[in-house]
Chain A
Amino acid sequence: MTEQAYLVLLSMAEHPRHGYAIVKEVASLSDGAVNLGAGTLYGLLDRMGAAGLIDTAGEEVVDGRLRRYYRLTENGSAAASAETRRLAALARRAHAVLARPAIGTI
């Protein structure tokens, strides 16, 4: 799973969000490092939808514009959790490696 895909999944973890809200949430989750373009976002949404990770959760019209909301499915939730565990384990190992004193030089 790419970092972008992971962040998009995470952005929907709390509650369903529409496209623009996902972009904003991804930016805030990544501390401003990841700014999704609309084209990239919809590519991710398409693929996640096809893979059954997300689902649509209703529409509303705001200022004459259609907004569609997306939510995590159980599979999507499980995928996000698995990725989080993997990253956590990776971070633990990284800490362990960095904590060891460096022995000599090559």
Chain B
Amino acid sequence: MGTAGGGTTGAGVSAQPSGKGARWERSAQFWMRAYPRRWRVARGEELLGVLLELASPDARRVGARTAADLVRGGWLTRLREHPPLLAWLGYRVLDRRVPERYRAWAKDDIDGVFYGVRLFLSWSSVLAVFGVITARSGGASGDLFGSAPEIAVILLVGTALSALFAPGYRRRRAQLLHLAPRPGDRLYEGRLVVQDGPRTRVDARSGLRWLAAASGVLAAASIVSVALAPLGTWAALTPAGPDSSAGLTIEAGPIAERAPAYLVLAVGLVLVVPAVRRVHRWIPTRVEQPHRRLRPAGVAGAARVLILMAAGLGILRAEIVGGLPLAIGPVLGACMLVLLATALAGLRECRRPGAAPFAAVDVVRVLTHRGPPEVDGPVPVLGVLRGPVPDGVVVPPPVLGGPRYPVLPV
């Protein structure tokens, strides 16, 4: 029915298992998942009631015929409310807004658990098309970028990482882009509008632990790299051997002795002292953060840190085996020493009795900004417009110098 996006009445499928038992209800709810989420929120409870009344009194689970009927009905509903092909392609590939009547569909899509996966799949299918076209068109572009499959793999890994690295940001951005009302759109109670929301940050206690572990591993690997990486002049190592592959000759400055590399590491070691001092000086100052919400790093956060660490280890390994000239190792090592000391100092601050909770990013920021941790500003998020909303009110036009999105007083 055309009420999607407006004030939905049902408060989700709840209800106490009356008579039939929880098992029957679980089975019914399982099959009802064929329906889109918004549909279930609006009408699921009602449908469950009808299913209950139609079922035989001693049934312990939903029968096969009913299940098939639910799956068929659910998928027909999904199909009916799905945007047409062109609108859908524009939304998926070009980030175009879907027409108003499909806004509720877009909301379900963006809020869904597998939004990141869907994004990834749509991008990678575009890449696959691109790859096939470049492979077909042959030489010219192949010479420019290397062979098409390699590009595809690189871009594929890139999109996978981007889906992993900024899921919250992506979701919020998509919500604002696809769901927020535009100037001139009519407003009504229950409509999703842009509001000031809290900035989510990883809390120091869980975030710094992973940061300390990763920076410790990288610092150690950098020191190993500085100590063991082969020295020599690069340009002299790869000339006209019969089996040497062209293209990997690096003309960049070779390192003939280790002393400069050790010096860079030593600078890092020296910088540890002021870094630690700054953390202990500024982190304990209490700063009110009205627009901040702390959350634990979680599995995704840990995965991100570990992936970055693996990338760093890859570079260092290339240096140790002689694939790359010794250049990144010392600098990375110096930075990681500072980061490790900072993270450890931050963790000590966490354990201080009576310490107010703070974000992992505060500790890193102290390195570059002398002074108490910065106060986070609000971020635009979507929220439900609470009523009563007078008839005929529309979204005001944006104000020059005002917020990027029309923020309504709610």
The interface of chain A, by Cβ under 8 A from chain B, is 18-20, 23, 37-43, 45-47, 49-50, 59, 62-68
Contact = CB atoms under 8 A, between A and B. Distances in A.
Contact of A37 (B9, B18, B69): B69
Contact of A65 (B1, B2, B18, B65): B18
Contacts of A64: 15-16, 18
Nearest to A56: B1
A65 B50 CA distance: 9
Given A19-B49, A64-B15, A65-B52, 7 more contacts: A41-B50, A42-B47, A43-B77, A46-B80, A50-B2, A59-B9, A65-B45
Contact of B74 (A39, A49, A63): A39
B65 A37 contact: yes
Contacts of A42: 43, 47, 50, 73, 77
Contacts of A68: 43, 46
Contacts of B76: 43
Contacts of B15: 64-66
Contact of A39 (B1, B9, B46, B70): B70
* Interface pairs A-B: 9 shortest CB-CB: A39-B73, A37-B69, A65-B49, A49-B1, A19-B50, A39-B69, A20-B53, A39-B70, A66-B45
Contacts of A23: 50, 54
B10 interface: yes
B48 interface: yes
Given A37-B69, A38-B69, A46 B1 contact: yes
B77 A46 contact: yes
Nearest to A20: B53
Interface residues of B, number: 30
A40 B96 CA distance: 34
Contacts of A38: 47, 50-51, 54, 66, 69-70, 73
A34 to B, nearest CB: 13
Q: In the complex, which of the residues B2, B15, B53, B80 has the most CB atoms of chain A within 10 Å of its own CB atom?
A: B53
Contacts of B2: 49-50
B281 interface: no
B72 interface: yes
21 contacts: A19-B49, A19-B50, A20-B54, A23-B54, A37-B54, A37-B65, A38-B47, A38-B70, A39-B72, A42-B50, A43-B73, A43-B77, A46-B77, A46-B80, A47-B80, A63-B19, A65-B15, A65-B48, A66-B45, A67-B46, A67-B49
Contacts of B53: 20
A20 B50 contact: yes
A42 B1 CA distance: 10
Q: In the complex, which of the residues A38, A42, A46, A65 has the most CB atoms of chain B within 10 Å of its own CB atom?
A: A38
Nearest to A68: B46
B56 to A, nearest CB: 13
A41 B71 CA distance: 13
Nearest to B13: A66
